[in-house]
Amino acid sequence: MIALVDTRVSKGPELVLQRMFEARKAVFVDLLGWDVPVLEEHYEVDQFDDAHARYLVLTDADHRHLGSARLLPTTRPHILDTLFPALCAGPVPSGPEIFEVTRFCLDRRLGASRRRIVRDQLVTALTQHALANSIRTYTGVAEQGWLGQVLRFGWNATRLGQPLPDRGTTLGALRIDIDANTPMRLERSGMWRPAAPLLIDAATDFSIAGVQP
């Protein structure tokens, strides 16, 4: 099940959000060692998890988190323009038809084969969401290894500049242009994997189990 959790709208699936923030903490803090905020020792929530963020969350039938991604409007402060503008050789892409993909998270409990399935389903859901909502471009920041994988998925993706060192790793920025041919490109590369059913839900703030951004 894919749920779009749009924080701009009315109250929705709070448990989905709670488990997503828990999974982000397990991956980005416990596994990867990122120096990012953690709330109540369980939830990875930063300043961009606000009322303007959207989330694509893949869950199982019991609403357990499998994978997720956060979408930030580039008409507002976001990671690339606020923290890493030097990763762009030119101006940071922004506009109402451009969203930044961040916190692409595959649940730590998944085995290798299941991780690939969830990864492909999230990539497919990102494409479906873009085509359904007049989003023409995604941008993002990634460590060099993950950046290389994303560039090879089959969609129209390009680097925005040269990767640069950052706190013991190397980061790069990219843009992904989405159009009517993107599903065909992803299908050719073996990445196209729609998750059924595609459910569109809505949520409001982060008043879940006491979690506040």
Sign of the CA dihedral 136, 2, 13, 17?
negative
Q: Are 208 and 20 in contact (CB under 8 A)?
A: no
The pLDDT value recorded for residue 168 is 86
Distance CA 78, CA 32 (A): 21
Give the residue-averaged pLDDT of 43-47: 95
Alpha helices in 64-181 (DSSP H): 79-82, 112-132, 144-151
Distance CA 204, CA 52 (A): 10
What tokens were used for 2?
A: 């894919």
CA proximity to 125, closest of 101, 148, 156, 141: 101
Tokens representing 130? 């873009």
pLDDT band at 9 (very low <50, low <70, confident <90, very high): low
Domains defined along the chain, listed by start: 2-202 (3.40.630.30)
**Rounded-to-integer distance, Cα 62 and Cα 83, Å:** 36
* Degrees to nearest 5, angle at CA 29 with 170 and 167: 25
| 73: preceding bond cis by omega (within 30 degrees) | no
The pLDDT of 37-55, averaged and rounded, is: 93
Expressed in angstroms, the distance from the first to the final Cα of the chain is 26
pLDDT of residue 210: 35
In the chain, what percentage of residues exceed pLDDT 90? 77
- The candidate with the shortest Cα–Cα distance to 159, out of 91, 88, 95, is 88
Query: In the structure, how many helices (H) and strands (E) does the chain have?
Result: 5, 11
Chain segment 147-186, per-residue pLDDT in tens: 999 999 999 999 999 999 998 899 999 999 999 999 999 9
DSSP 92: P
* Mean pLDDT in residue range 114-127: 95
